[in-house]
């Protein structure tokens, strides 16, 4: 990985400033330019990140209809009837509480990425959240966030001279919570946090009259004051932008409706108004919680209802209203977004009508410029599920981030590699006119081909793996039933051709295993069974 060398090339860290009871930070700023194929590229594009705190149950959100019978065995005490599920295609459906998102999909403004995760899942809320926010490996701890590194890449000269006429606005805004690790760059917060659009009123007019000393302490104090002065100025521009616009969509849920999340409604309303008000802010981050559904996830009398259904309805209704609002405000072609949670849930339900901490889960993405499709195969539900059974990763979560950076903000792939990890997959989730992407073409050309084969299967200790390389970087990984990588067979560039490898897992207990193949934008996962 090159992330560490990337981190070494940034300026020193800033100190935290607390104003009016809120922790706020100035931003790293620079003229809004970037190199794209040797050209100067400017963008008014916006990305909205929707964080679902608690670990959302992907199998109760996006349903593998082609494996409904196996899922019924694993979740007989909480799986809704197949006829209640809204179809996205013949093999995949969405929760009926998410009818508004289903409509977005039908309108070409929403898609799903299946089985998003990472090798060696962590099941702690705190650590798993840090992994998603920092885009680290599961055993690596970083003190910067993935979005923070991107913003530092774009705006590297903090804090001298900013805000200015070229970039008078915050680079990122977190609504309803602290700035968080995702927007940090080694102690420097690359955005500011507001609880509501009126907060900036309390941040304006702060004037320092007493001089600082000439020693080290004085220099540090001057630095902190500069950060605070910039925050004050951001408060002014945020309030001005908010007051310049109004929400136009009538689809936002009523804030007294118990089936929706009032906080998320208010957050997305603010985001729409700030974008419409003219802010050049690149990234908006909102969040909502309640997804840690160990018990009473579904209603015992009606499995289509319950705590999780209410949460999903809140996400669905609010995102659909936000997309509608953006279009009514004339912003629709400028805005995309996606949801994520720190982990999914186990395949097997528990005895309390709930689910426990799991691994991979679907990511839902939205906006006028997205490709409305289900990316990837449905999760594999084995016949002998136990309480430890998890879903194997289909796509690395960092490939989701990398795709938005490369295909939406048009960052060259080599630079995205430095921010995230080498050889990330460009996923086919954005339209062809967004920069230049071959991901959709790759998927279309090779659709239906079997790129990996295991034989014999089942097997005792050893088997053979046939796979293809289309040229370029290839990953071939073996996962156990808990979703952890137990072997990495290939992790390098391979010329185009067919290959055969021996697989030996004699040190593993009998059971279900998975082998995952990745090459460019393509990925396939096959199940295997080791027997005695």
The pLDDT of residue 118 is above 70 = yes
Residue among 153, 220, 154, 118 at smallest CA distance from 7: 153
- Reduced to 3 states, what is the DSSP secondary structure of residue 22? strand
* pLDDT value for 230: 55
Which tops the pLDDT comparison, 469 or 26? Answer: 469
> Which of 101-110, 151-160, 309-318, 348-357 comes out lowest in average pLDDT?
151-160
* pLDDT value for 213: 76
* pLDDT value for 82: 97
Question: Where do the DSSP E strands lie in 163-217?
Answer: 172-175, 184-185, 188-189, 192-194
The pLDDT of residue 223 is above 80 = no
Buried b (16+ CB within 10 A) or exposed e, 192-228: bbbbebebbeebeeeeeeeeeeeeeeeeeeebbebbb
CB-side neighbour CA atoms (13 Å) of 371? 21
* pLDDT value for 258: 55
Taking each continuous run of H as one helix and of E as one strand, the counts in the chain are: 11, 25
The pLDDT of residue 12 is above 50 = no
DSSP 135: T
**pTM (predicted TM-score):** 0.79
The pLDDT of residue 155 is above 90 = no
d(CA 22, CA 43): 30
Measured in residues, the chain has a length of 532
Domain spanning 452-530, CATH class: mainly beta
pLDDT above 90: percentage of residues in the chain: 66
d(CA 518, CA 525): 9
pLDDT band at 357 (very low <50, low <70, confident <90, very high): very high
* pLDDT value for 42: 42
Model confidence pLDDT, tens digit, residues 325-339:
999 999 999 999 999
Q: What is the arithmetic mean of pLDDT over 4-24?
A: 34
Which tops the pLDDT comparison, 391 or 204? Answer: 391
Phi then psi for 315, rounded to 5 degrees? -60, -50
Residue among 129, 57, 59, 136 at smallest CA distance from 396: 136
d(CA 192, CA 231): 8
d(CA 101, CA 337): 13
Widest distance between CA atoms in the chain: 79
The pLDDT of residue 212 is above 50 = yes
* pLDDT value for 30: 32
The pLDDT of residue 219 is above 80 = no
Q: Cα angle vertex 303, ends 299, 304, to 5°?
A: 105
d(CA 492, CA 473): 5
What DSSP element (H or E) covers 290?
A: none
Answer positive or negative: Cα dihedral of 37, 42, 45, 46. Answer: positive
- CB neighbourhood size of 494 (10 A): 17
d(CA 3, CA 311): 36
d(CA 483, CA 391): 6
pLDDT winner (highest mean) among 40-54, 171-185, 356-370, 411-425: 356-370
d(CA 108, CA 102): 10
Model confidence pLDDT, tens digit, residues 238-276:
989 999 999 999 999 987 655 456 789 999 999 999 999
The whole-chain average pLDDT of the chain stands at 84
Q: For the chain, give every domain's residue range.
A: 3-445, 452-530
* pLDDT value for 261: 63
* pLDDT value for 162: 64
Model confidence pLDDT, tens digit, residues 50-74:
999 999 999 999 999 999 999 999 9
- Cα end-to-end distance, the chain, whole Å: 39
d(CA 29, CA 159): 7
The distance from CA 232 to its chain's CA centroid, rounded to whole angstroms, is 30
* Residues 498, 466 contacting (CB under 8 angstroms): yes
CB-side neighbour CA atoms (13 Å) of 298? 25
Residue among 147, 132, 67 at smallest CA distance from 363: 132
* pLDDT value for 90: 96
* pLDDT value for 340: 98
**Cα distances (Å, whole numbers) of residue 333 to 14, 174, 261:** 35, 22, 26
Residue among 92, 112, 91, 113 at smallest CA distance from 101: 112
What DSSP element (H or E) covers 516?
A: strand 511-519
Q: How is residue 18 written in tokens?
A: 């607390």
Q: How is residue 400 written in tokens?
A: 């989701």
Phi then psi for 230, rounded to 5 degrees? -65, -40
């Amino acid at each position: 990985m090159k992330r560490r060398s990337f981190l070494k090339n940034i300026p020193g860290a800033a100190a935290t400033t607390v104003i009016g009871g809120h922790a706020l930070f100035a931003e790293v700023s620079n003229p809004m330019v970037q190199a794209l194929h040797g050209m100067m590229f400017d963008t008014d594009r916006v990305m909205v990140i929707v964080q679902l705190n608690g670990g959302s149950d992907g199998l109760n959100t996006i349903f593998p209809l082609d494996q409904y019978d196996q899922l019924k065995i694993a979740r007989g005490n909480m799986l809704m009837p197949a006829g209640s599920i809204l179809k996205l295609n013949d093999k995949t459906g969405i929760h009926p509480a998410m009818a508004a998102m289903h409509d977005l999909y039908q309108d070409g403004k929403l898609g799903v990425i299946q089985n998003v995760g990472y090798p060696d899942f962590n099941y702690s809320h705190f650590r798993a959240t840090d992994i998603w926010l920092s885009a680290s490996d599961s055993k690596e701890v970083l003190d910067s966030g993935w979005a923070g590194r991107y913003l530092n890449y774009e705006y590297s000269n903090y804090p001298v001279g900013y805000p200015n006429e070229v970039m008078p606005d915050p680079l990122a805004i977190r609504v309803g919570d602290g700035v968080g690790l995702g927007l940090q760059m080694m102690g420097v917060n690359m955005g500011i946090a507001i609880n509501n659009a009126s907060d900036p009123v309390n941040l304006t007019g702060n004037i320092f009259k007493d001089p600082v000393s000439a020693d080290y302490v004085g220099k540090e104090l001057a630095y902190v004051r500069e950060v605070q002065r910039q925050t004050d100025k951001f408060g002014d521009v945020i309030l001005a932008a908010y007051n310049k616009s109004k929400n136009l969509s009538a689809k936002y849920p009523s804030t007294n409706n118990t089936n929706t999340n009032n906080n998320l409604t208010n957050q997305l309303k603010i985001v729409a108004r700030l974008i419409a008000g003219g802010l050049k802010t690149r990234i908006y981050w909102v969040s909502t919680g309640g997804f840690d559904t160990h018990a009473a996830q579904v209603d015992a009398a009606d499995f289509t209802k319950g705590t999780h259904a209410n949460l999903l309805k809140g996400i669905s209704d609010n995102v659909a209203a936000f997309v509608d609002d953006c279009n009514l405000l004339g912003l629709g072609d400028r805005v995309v977004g996606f949801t994520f949670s720190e982990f999914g849930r186990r395949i097997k339900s528990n005895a309390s009508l709930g689910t426990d901490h799991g691994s991979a889960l679907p990511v839902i993405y939205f906006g006028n410029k997205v490709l409305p499709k289900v990316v990837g195969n449905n999760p594999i539900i084995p016949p002998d599920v136990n309480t430890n059974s998890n879903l194997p990763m289909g796509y690395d979560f960092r490939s989701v981030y990398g795709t938005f950076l490369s295909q939406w903000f048009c960052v060259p792939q080599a630079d995205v590699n430095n921010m995230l990890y080498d050889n990330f997959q460009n996923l086919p989730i954005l339209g062809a006119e967004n920069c230049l992407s071959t991901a959709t073409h790759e998927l279309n050309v090779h659709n239906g081909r079997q790129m990996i084969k295991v034989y014999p299967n089942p097997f005792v200790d050893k088997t053979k793996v046939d796979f293809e390389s289309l040229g370029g970087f290839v990953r071939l990984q073996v996962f156990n039933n808990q979703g952890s990588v137990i072997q990495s067979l290939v992790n390098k560039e391979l010329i185009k051709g067919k290959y055969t490898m021996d697989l030996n897992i004699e040190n593993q207990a009998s059971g279900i295993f998975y082998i995952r193949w990745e090459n460019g934008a393509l990925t396939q996962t096959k199940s295997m069974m080791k027997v005695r």
